[in-house]
Structure 1
Amino acid sequence: MAKKRWSDLSTTQQRAIFAAGAAELVMTTVVLRDLARRPSADVRGPKVVWVLACVVQPVGPIAYFVAGRR
């Protein structure tokens, strides 16, 4: 199988990829802003670990929303 190029994808596939990327960017931004504003006592675990977890897309931001905040 040859590697697909952006132009080989349908319009629906291009829009889905764009939407997923935008959602990841928004989630990461919201998590980082929340971490910057939230006191350490209201975060489960060290803030630095959560910032590093945001690099693991999309698992890190979702994990923070589910388990990181008190």
Structure 2
Amino acid sequence: MAKKKTWKEMSPSGKAGIILVAIAQVSLLVAAQRDISKRPAAMINGPKAAWRAASFINFIGPVGYFTFGRKKPGAAGSHPESRGAQRL
């Protein structure tokens, strides 16, 4: 089994790659958390707390939330106009 390299032993391009992946992960996490906070519960599939917790799973959580957790804008029952509110 190969010995794992420490940070000091890594090449500059290897360090840059890890930093870029970390930035992407944190960006997805922040975007998912902000969207969950601002989106009404009626526009989310399932409980907000469950999606908030799931979004902390690396890449899979935020991508899963953006793919499956948000209701589509035109989905039946998800828009205020489709719940009986009349537009003037």
**Normalising TM by the smaller chain, what interval?**
over 0.9
Are 1:3 and 2:4 counterparts? yes
Aligned residues: 70
Could you tell me which amino acid in structure 2 is paired with residue 62 of structure 1?
V
Higher helix share: 1
Quote how far apart the aligned CAs of 1:10 are.
1.0
Secondary structure of the residue aligned to 2:56 is coil
* Map of 1:52 onto structure 2: 53
Q: Please tell me the root mean square deviation across aligned C-alpha atoms, in Å.
A: 0.8
Which consecutive segments of 4 or more residues in structure 1 shift more than 3 A? Answer: none
User: 1:68 is matched by which residue type in structure 2?
Assistant: G
TM-score normalised according to structure 1 size: 0.94
Structure 1 residue aligned with 2:86? none
Larger radius of gyration: 2
Structure 1 residues 1-70: aligned runs within 5 Å: 1-70=2-71
| Percent of paired sites with the same residue | 31
Alpha-carbon distance between aligned partners in 2 of 1:55 and 1:39, rounded to the nearest angstrom: 20
Higher relative contact order (CA 8 A, sep 6+): 1
**1:9, 1:37 → 2: CA distance?**
40
